[in-house]
Amino acid sequence: MFKQTLLKAAEAGAAELSRFFNGSFEISNKEGINNLVTEADHAAEKAIMAVIQGEYPTHFILSEESGEIVQDSTYKWIIDPIDGTVNFANGIPICCVSIGLEQEGKMIMGAVYNPIMNELFFAQKGFGATLNDKRIHVSEKSAVINSCLVTGFPYTYLDEPNGPIQVFEKLIRKGVPVRRLGSAAIDLCWVAAGRFDGFYEHKLQAWDSAAGFLMVEEAGGKVTDFTGNNYSPYQPHLLATNGKIHDELLAIINGAAL
């Protein structure tokens, strides 16, 4: 029942994303330069929430644009109506709807849908991860030097030791390919599908990673914070890998030489 609602909500949001994509819409700016929100974000959020609240009106909701809709419930829906808004606003087809469902603080289900590329990722705790209903698995690379990685950069730079630029520079100076796609949800799904061997980012919100991190775990990968502890979407640091390069990449992020 939850799966049906989740997929229905993802499809409703994706319909709005598709409707506005490469069209005309209003754009405004949130905190930080180029931290955009568009008319399409609001339309997608409204469509997603209409489905969820229509079927589970007593469930807690956390959504990027509306914030928390607090309910006394053990279930929480975590929504990013359009992840990759800058891409979306510029007609770049790396953008998606991301929805995770949490029960008693544990992520149990997630969907990430990029209708422009016709890719629907789904994961359920204990049941694996799929792309368009076909099982996916993480890659088999065993060394960072041979890996293809992906990362993201915050809109407000974090001036801290081993910050985003320092880690990025360390990797690319050794010839490691590191991509920057602009959508954390898609980054995580592409790690789950074996397209990337690892993804790290220094400053994420819960809606950026809630669905995607479950995708990686259910595809056989590993996700932690930057101390190596179990990942929580309510803290900013994320490292997701195929598991085989995890410890090495974690050490590099924390200052070790490559």
pLDDT digits (tens, 9 = 90+) for 149-179: 999 998 777 677 899 999 999 999 999 999 9
180, pLDDT greater than 90: yes
pLDDT (0 to 100) of residue 31: 63
Q: Return the domain boundaries, the chain.
A: 2-135, 144-253
57, pLDDT greater than 80: yes
Nearest-angstrom CA–CA distance, 81 and 43: 8
Band (132; pLDDT cuts 50, 70, 90): very high
34, pLDDT greater than 70: no
CATH number (3.40.190.80, 3.40.50.2300, 3.10.450.50, 3.40.50.2000) of 144-253 reads 3.40.190.80
Contacts of 220 (CB under 8 A, 6+ apart): 137, 138, 242, 243
32, pLDDT greater than 80: no
pLDDT (0 to 100) of residue 43: 95
Give the pLDDT mean for 136-156: 95
118, pLDDT greater than 80: yes
DSSP 39-98: HHHHHHHHHHHHHHHHH-TTSEEEETTTEEE--S-SEEEEEEEEE-HHHHHTT-S--EEE
pLDDT (0 to 100) of residue 115: 98
Contact 99, 106 (CB under 8 A): no
What is the C-alpha R_g of the chain? 17
CATH code linked to domain 2-135: 3.30.540.10
Q: What is the distance between the terminal CA atoms of the chain, rounded to a whole angstrom?
A: 47
Q: Is residue 230 classed as helix, strand or coil in its secondary structure?
A: strand
For the entire predicted model, the pTM comes to 0.95
* % of the chain residues with pLDDT over 90: 88
pLDDT (0 to 100) of residue 156: 75
More confident residue, 184 or 158: 184
* % of the chain residues with pLDDT over 70: 97
Mean pLDDT estimate for the chain: 95
pLDDT (0 to 100) of residue 136: 98
